[in-house]
Structure formats: structure tokens, C-alpha cells
Structure 1
Amino acid sequence: MDVSEILTGLYSEQGRQNPYPFYTALHAHGPINAIPTRAEHSTVTAVAGGYDVVDRILRDPLWYKGFPPGWEEQEILRTFLTSMMFVNPPDHTRMRAVFASTFTPRRLGALEPVVVRIVEERLAAMAEAGADGTEVDFVADFAYPVPALVMAEFIGLPAADLAWYRQRVDWIDEYMDVAGKTPERLARANQAAEELRSFYRDLIAHRRRAPGADLISGLVEVLDAGEVELTEDELISNLIVLFNASFVTTVYMFSNGLPLLLAHPEVTAALPGDDALARGCVDEVLRMESPVHFLARSAPAAAELDGVPVERDDNVLLLIAAANRDPARFPDPDRFDPHRDGPPSLAFGVGLHFCLGSAVSKLEGRLALPRLFARFPRLAVTQPHTYSGSLFLRGIDKLFVTTGEAG
């Protein structure tokens, strides 16, 4: 297949369900390739799937995120583009400094017993729901509520609002996909952004009257004291994006990872009590089944990348999930190996826009997976599963299992 055929296949239903053969075919063409003008979805000039070139672009602070025309007119784009995940320096530097100061080792350490408590509660609920061999939806009963409840407690969201919140997250995620820019999806994403902004305004007002120990209370305190360079609107935009990015990727880390782990029973049997193995499993799941499959960056100047010319302001599509299976950096890249040596995966990005929530996500995986398999050593998937259909955030939304416990 040539590059045009590979990209067309990648955007097909077959590619969305299993993009990895297309990534393998792309690797055969080199680490980066110009996109032919005839290619479908050719809004970018080049596509990069090689680990080194993707890593190099993400680490270069001069490569920037381009703003689409007319972004000021759409609530969802205004939210995105006033958050640190999407803005460029110096605004990015200013915003990130505020939030980076809250993701401290001390705060992360305090979160560990919260994660353990929530995991144990969800395992007990799974055991009850799965009694006598009854099927359980692993996503609905574990993969979604664990990170949602953890982030809700960490940030300061009322747990009772999570079901309402999830629908708005889904509308935003639908719009984020490469095929999501339809008028209907844009309207839903705008509605979600408007409703979430109103939700956070009310929550911030409540925290001003009755502060707690959560992230929002701490941020409101320093904001009102004039100690940070952040407006309340920017605070709200960052809270919306931070919650979405931090918990959806963790949901998919769990749901994408479970079938992968269950295919290696020698690993799941050894996981309980082995913290080093748990860390290795989290890293390898994120490498092999990255929740985020692509990012885009714009060139700050004309350049040549591994022989491919790009002009100033050209957009380059960075295939994170392809880079994480680059055979030049990961020998036998389609093999699951929790003891693998080599560079870190790019699942959470790298450089300026490295995901702040990655430490929370990895903490949840490290603490949850050994407890999951200690509680349910005979856990089994019972039905074929499909992926979300999105190539931006790709994951399993329903995964039916039996816990293997006797009635």
C-alpha cells in the first residue's frame, strides 16, 4: 500500500477497529512521509509514525498548535484554546506553572489511599454484581468509575454529578475525532462546553463560601489572593480539559489493557504483590494500546524532517500509537513484554504539553491491577468487544466479563 491507501484504510471502519496493520505498513515507508494531495483527510502536509521524529517534534518548543479559523465563535474551541493543553507559550508556560505546582509528590502521596479505597469499593461492587456467574460490564463497573471517582475527589467534583458530567465528556470526545467535525457534533460539543462552564462557575462560587482540601479550593484560594497569573475563565477552561484528559485516558488504559493482560495469564497470576511488575504492565499497556492515537503540530519554519520537506506553518500529523510500535525503537513491537527495556512510550505526550495527569493515571493502574487480579484470578472476557470508533481517543466502551467466583 502507498501512503494514500494507508491513510484511507486507517480512517475506515476496519482501521478504526484495528489500526495496527496500517501503522506497520506506514513504518515500511519510513519515519515520516509527505501526504499526497489525493489522500483522504489531507488537511496536513506530512504524517509521522517513527518514534524519533515524533519525539523530536513534541520536544521542540517552537513547534506549535495551530488555531483553526473562526475558533472564537465556538464555545468548545474557546474552551480548548484558553487551556494549557492547547495554547502555545508564553500563555502555556504561565498556565502550566499554576497547575504543575498542585501535582506535587505530597499531593500524589495523599491520593494513594483514596485510590485504594475506591478500587476496593468497586471490586466489592463487581463481586456482588457478578455473583453466580452473572456477566458484568467491566467498563461501567470498574474502568469508568475508578478514575472518575478518583479525579472527582482530587479535583473536587460532587460524585452525584458524574453521570451528568460523563454525557458532556462524551459529546466533547466525539467532536475531537478526525471525523467528528460535523455540524451536529459541533453543536453538542458547544452545548457541553457551555453547560460545563456554568457547572464550574457554580462550583467555584460554592468553594469560595465553603473551601475544602480539593484542587479547586486550593486554586480558588491562590487565584483570589492574586498569587497566580490566571483568570477565572482560564481556570474553568483548564479544569474542563484536565478532567477530560486525565480520566478518559485512564478509562481506556483499563479497558484496552484488560484483554491484553488476560492473554498472558502468567503475568496476571504474578501481578498481586509485585509492584515492579505492576509498573511494567501499566507502561506496556500504554505503549501497545495508547488511548490517544495522534496529535498535530505546526512547523515554526521551513525544515526537512528525515528527507521530507515541510514549509512554515505546515501541519504534521503525529501518530503516537504508531511511534509506540516503531520496530526501530521497540524490537518485536507487537509482543506484550512488561519487562521491556527501551525508551518510554509517548502515550501521554512529551515536552511542553506532556500530560499533567499522567502521574495520577499511572498511580491508579499500579494500585488497581494487582488488586483486580488478586480478587478475581479467574476473570474472563465473555463477548467480542469493539472499539469506540474514534482514532483520537480509541478505547473499549463496553467489555463484558465474568468474575469467576463461585455462587
Structure 2
Amino acid sequence: MDVDEILTGLYSEQGRQNPYPWYAALHEHGPINAVPKRAEHSTITAVAGGYDLVDQVLRDPGWYKGAPPDWQDQEILRTFLTSMMFINPPDHTRMRAVFAKTFTPRRLGALEPVIVRIVTDRLDRMAEAGADGGEVDFVADFAYPVPALVMAEFIGLPEADLAWYRQRVDWIDEYMDVAGKTPERLARANQAAEELRGYYRELLAHRRRQPGEDLISGLVEVLDAGGVDLTEEELISNLIVLFNASFVTTVYMFSNGLPLLLAHPDVIAALPGDDALARGCVDEVLRMESPVHFLARAAPHDTEVGGLPVARDENVLLLIAAANRDPARFPDPDRFDPHRAGPPSLAFGVGLHFCLGSAVSRLEGRLALPRLFARFPELAVSQPYTYSGSLFLRGIDKLFVTTGEAR
């Protein structure tokens, strides 16, 4: 199977449901390969799946995130490209310095009781819904609301707005997929970005009148005092991207991880009370079922990567999920092992654009998973499930379970 056949397979429905055989086939061709010049691959020169090579490119500050020439004409692209997740230095450095101050050990410590309270409440609701053998949608009742409520409380979004907010998040995520750049999806993403920008303008104005203890209140205060090098429109762009990135990946960490964990009853039986095992399970779920499957970077100058020439401004597709199952770095990569030694997964990226909310996501997993299985030791998947149609953010959107007898 050549590289063109592998990429075609990845783009197929079968590949979207289970891309890992295609990643394994790609590893047989080496850590990086040229991409055939075809319309569907027009912006990509090479595809990389080797762990060391993907890690190397992500850590190199010279490799940058490219922007389409018409980005200023689209609301969604203007939002992306005025946020730290999609922008390059020096603006990236300026913006990240503002937000990095908010993700401190003190703030993370303060989040622990918030997470425990939200998790406990959602488990109570699951127990009620699953009484007498009733089915529960694990995503709707737990995997989505836990990170959404945690980030909403952290940032300062009213809980009542989350259902409205989620639809706009979905429209943006659909557009971000490698196959999502259709006129219809672009129009929905533009609408979502426009509506979210209006939403945040009103929220910022409200926090000016009635400040609280949340992130938005703190940022508004320093913004108005001239204490940060950030405009209000840049603040709004970053809040939109930060909220999306910080909770959608956690939703999929939970929903993708549940079937994986349930296949290892000895592990879930030992989870309650074992914090080291909980950390290992979170790490291994993120390695084996990375919510984000790829990133792209453009070459700062004519160069070679893994012996392959890449011209200046050409893009390399970095397959994070393939790198996380690179047999050269993870022996027996398809085996779940929460005690696995070796390098960290690349699930949250690395380098300049390392996910700022990764510590929150890991904390949620570490606190939630032991409590989930302590409460529902007989938890079981009750219906077949499918993964989202996206290759960029891949996860289970509906996952029906029975809780069994709750403790």
C-alpha cells in the first residue's frame, strides 16, 4: 500500500472510524513521506507520523502556522488568526504571556473542589437516570457537561448559556476538519464566530458592571487598567478558542477513553483510591485515543525533514495520533498499559503552541475517572457506537451505557 492509498483510506468513512491500521501502514514507509500532488492534498507537501520527527517540528519555533490569503474576509479565520493558538511569534508570545498567568498552580488547586463537586453532581444524575436498568448517554450526561461546566465556571460563562454555546462549538469544529472546508461549513463557522463574538462583548460589558471571581472579570480589570498588552477584540478571540480547545478535547478524552478502560476490568477495579494509576490511565487514554489527530506546520525556509526536502512555506501534516502509536517509541503500541514508561504523548502538542488547558484536562481525568468507577463498578456500554466524522477532532459523540447497581 503506497502513501497515496493510505491517505485515501484515512479520508474514507472506514478510516475515520478506525484510522489506526492506516497509521500502522504509514509507519512502514518511514517517519515522513512526500504527498502526491493531487487536488485534495493541494496544501500539503509531506505527511509525518514518526514520533521523534513530529516532536522535532513542533518544538522548532521557526515552523509556523500558515494562513490562507483570504483569511481577513472570513469571520472564523479572523477569530482564529487573532488568537494565540493559531498565530505566530511575536504576537503569539505577547498573547500567551497574558493567559499563562491564569493557569497557575494556585488556580489549578482551587479548581479541584470545583471539579469534584461537578463530577459528584453528574454521577448523582447518572445514577438517577440509570436506575432500574435505564440507558444513559454517557456523553450527554457526563463527558460533555463535566468539562463544559468546569471551564464555564473557570472562565465565567453562565451555565444556562452552555446549550446555545455548544451548537456554535460544533459548527466551528466541523469546519476545522481536513475535509470540512466546504462553503456550507464555512458559512456556519462564520455565523458561529460572529455570534460568539457578540456574546463575549455583552459578557465583558456585564463583568465591567458586575465583576466576579472568574477569569473574565480578572482579565477585564487588567485590560481596562492597561495592565496587559492585549486588545479587547484579541481577548474575545482568545476566549472563544480557549474555551473550545479546553473542553472539547476533554469531552473526547472521556468518551474515547471509556470503552478503552472498560476492556480492562482489572484496571478499573483498582482505580478508586490509586492516584498514580489514575494519572497513568489518563496518559494512556490520551496516547491511544488522542482527541486531536493532526496539526500542520509550514517551513520557515528551504530545508530537509527526515531526509525529505521541504521548500519554504510548504506545509507538513503532522499526524499526532500516528506519532503516539509509533512502534519505534512505544513498544506494542496498540496495547493499553497505564504503567507504560517512555516519552510523553503528543496529545496536547508540544513547543510554542502546547495546549494551555492541558493541565486542567488532565486534572479532570485524574479526579473524575476513579469516582466514576467507584460509583458504577458495573458500568457497561449498551449500544454500538461510532466516532465523529472528523479527522481533526475525533471522538465519540453518543455513547449509551447502563450503570448497573450504583454505590
Name the CA distance, whole Å, in 1 between partners of 2:39 and 2:317.
13
Structure 2 residue 18 is the aligned partner of structure 1 residue 18:
yes
Shift, 1:364, TM fit: 0.3
Shift, 1:175, TM fit: 0.4
Name the CA distance, whole Å, in 2 between partners of 1:168 and 1:309.
40
Name the CA distance, whole Å, in 1 between partners of 2:89 and 2:389.
33
User: Aligned AA for 1:96?
Assistant: R
Contact 1:133 1:406 in 2 (8 A): no
Name the CA distance, whole Å, in 1 between partners of 2:355 and 2:132.
41
Aligned residue in 1 for 2:41: 41
Aligned residue in 2 for 1:235: 235
Name the CA distance, whole Å, in 1 between partners of 2:183 and 2:200.
26
User: Aligned AA for 2:166?
Assistant: R
Shift, 1:70, TM fit: 0.3
Shift, 1:40, TM fit: 4.0
Aligned residue in 2 for 1:395: 395
Aligned residue in 2 for 1:143: 143
User: Aligned AA for 2:398?
Assistant: K
Shift, 1:222, TM fit: 0.7
Aligned residue in 2 for 1:248: 248
Shift, 1:38, TM fit: 4.0
Aligned residue in 2 for 1:132: 132
Aligned residue in 2 for 1:56: 56
Q: How does 1:221-232 map to 2 (within 5 A)?
A: 221-232=221-232
Which blocks of at least 5 consecutive residues in structure 1 are unaligned? none
Shift, 1:406, TM fit: 7.1
Name the CA distance, whole Å, in 2 between partners of 1:179 and 1:41.
10
Aligned residue in 1 for 2:282: 282
Aligned residue in 2 for 1:334: 334
Change (3 A) 1:208 1:283: same
Q: How does 1:4-403 map to 2 (within 5 A)?
A: 4-38=4-38, 40-403=40-403
Contact 1:8 1:39 in 2 (8 A): no
Q: Deviations over 1:10-49 (max 9, x none)?
A: 0000000000000000000000001111474342000000
Q: Deviations over 1:254-292 (max 9, x none)?
A: 000000000000000000000000000000000000000
Name the CA distance, whole Å, in 1 between partners of 2:186 and 2:176.
9
TM-score, scaled relative to structure 1: 0.99
Name the CA distance, whole Å, in 2 between partners of 1:311 and 1:186.
29
**Paired residue secondary structure (1:136):** strand
Q: Deviations over 1:160-209 (max 9, x none)?
A: 00000000000000000011111111010000000000000000001111
TM-score, scaled relative to structure 2: 0.99
Runs ≥4 in structure 1, deviation > 6 angstroms? none
Name the CA distance, whole Å, in 2 between partners of 1:69 and 1:375.
52
Change (3 A) 1:406 1:202: closer
Name the CA distance, whole Å, in 2 between partners of 1:19 and 1:40.
18
Name the CA distance, whole Å, in 2 between partners of 1:313 and 1:198.
34
User: Aligned AA for 1:337?
Assistant: D
Change (3 A) 1:231 1:68: same
User: Aligned AA for 1:349?
Assistant: G
Change (3 A) 1:183 1:39: closer
Shift, 1:384, TM fit: 0.8
Name the CA distance, whole Å, in 1 between partners of 2:57 and 2:25.
22
Shift, 1:318, TM fit: 0.3
Contact 1:4 1:38 in 2 (8 A): no
Name the CA distance, whole Å, in 2 between partners of 1:307 and 1:79.
36
**Paired residue secondary structure (1:385):** coil
Which blocks of at least 5 consecutive residues in structure 2 are unaligned? none
User: Aligned AA for 1:132?
Assistant: D
The percentage of aligned residue pairs carrying the same residue is 88
Contact 1:5 1:39 in 2 (8 A): no
Contact 2:35 2:41 in 1 (8 A): no
Contact 2:287 2:346 in 1 (8 A): yes
Name the CA distance, whole Å, in 1 between partners of 2:98 and 2:142.
31
Name the CA distance, whole Å, in 2 between partners of 1:89 and 1:297.
14
Contact 1:329 1:343 in 2 (8 A): yes
